[in-house]
A and B are shown apart, each in its own frame.
Chain A
Amino acid sequence: GAVVSQHPSWVICKSGTSVKIECRSLDFQATTMFWYRQFPKQSLMLMATSNEGSKATYEQGVEKDKFLINHASLTLSTLTVTSAHPEDSSFYICSARARDPTNYGYTFGSGTRLTVV
């Protein structure tokens, strides 16, 4: 079945530094990538949607200059958290939608736990 590889699975960084999270679709072409954020004991909240080759669309309240999304190819999307602060500590999950959706059409990465100290 469809697989999305997300790396790193966890990262600890110092406040003020930037962190890049990668999501790769291993056996299909991900025309659309969704990035979610999940705070402890809460649900997943959509941050942004990106289509290959175009700019990402951000949800209300999500700073596009802080959360840089690049979807340069059909198999790779990246989320860079710039100038990270402790309040950015969260679980980040990507979800890919294929050009020809399967029965459910969305494949999730395994998530990245970001801790900013």
Chain B
Amino acid sequence: SQQGEEDPQALSIQEGENATMNCSYKTSINNLQWYRQNSGRGLVHLILIRSNEREKHSGRLRVTLDTSKKSSSLLITASRAADTASYFCATDAAGGGADGLTFGKGTHLIIQP
């Protein structure tokens, strides 16, 4: 079932600027993951942050997790035109993973050259 909410729903910035997307969720989680999806294509796994972690970096990506607020943020630094895509957070609920991932509604990011 859908539980995550991303904001903003759409974001348009200039190339080189930083893009920040937020995600909120409702239940206890084992981990939270961020995915990218180019138009009409499959999902690309970007980064995973576990429930006991607060911040994680991978290249130009920085993810934070606040379990007390049930929220996460994804920061893409020095954005490029190729970063244009939809970004989804997905939560892996606590309790064994029998229910799969629950996806947020997504943020559509447009990087203007």
Interface residues of A (CB under 8 A from B): 6, 32, 34, 36, 41-46, 49, 59-60, 91, 93, 95, 97, 101, 103-106, 108-111, 113
**Which residues of chain B have C-beta atoms less than 8 A from A101's C-beta?**
97
Q: Are A43 and B106 in contact (CB under 8 A)?
A: yes
B31, B41, B88, B100: the one contacting A110 at CB < 8 Å is B41
Expressed in whole angstroms, the Cα–Cα distance for A43 and B43 within the complex equals 11
Nearest opposing residue in chain B for A41, CB measure: B108
Q: Are B33 and A104 in contact (CB under 8 A)?
A: yes
Q: Mark B13-46, 1 if CB is under 8 A from A, else 0.
A: 0000000000000000001010000001111010
Nearest opposing residue in chain A for B6, CB measure: A43
* Closest Cβ–Cβ distance, residue B22 to chain A (whole Å): 15
A42, A60, A91, A95: the one contacting B101 at CB < 8 Å is A95
Q: Are B98 and A32 in contact (CB under 8 A)?
A: yes
User: Taking the complex as formed, is B52 at the interface, i.e. its CB lies under 8 A from any CB of chain A?
Assistant: no
**Which residues of chain A have C-beta atoms less than 8 A from B88's C-beta?**
43-44
Interface residues in B24-72 by Cβ distance below 8 A to A read 31, 33, 40-43, 45, 48
**Which residues of chain A have C-beta atoms less than 8 A from B106's C-beta?**
42-43
Q: A104-B48, A108-B42 are in contact. Are A49 and B99 (CB under 8 A)?
A: yes
Q: List 17 A-B contacts (CB under 8 A).
A: A32-B98, A34-B100, A42-B105, A43-B2, A43-B103, A44-B43, A45-B2, A45-B103, A49-B98, A101-B97, A108-B43, A109-B42, A110-B41, A110-B42, A111-B42, A111-B43, A113-B40
Q: Are B101 and A34 in contact (CB under 8 A)?
A: yes
User: Taking the complex as formed, is B102 at the interface, i.e. its CB lies under 8 A from any CB of chain A?
Assistant: yes
Nearest opposing residue in chain A for B108, CB measure: A41
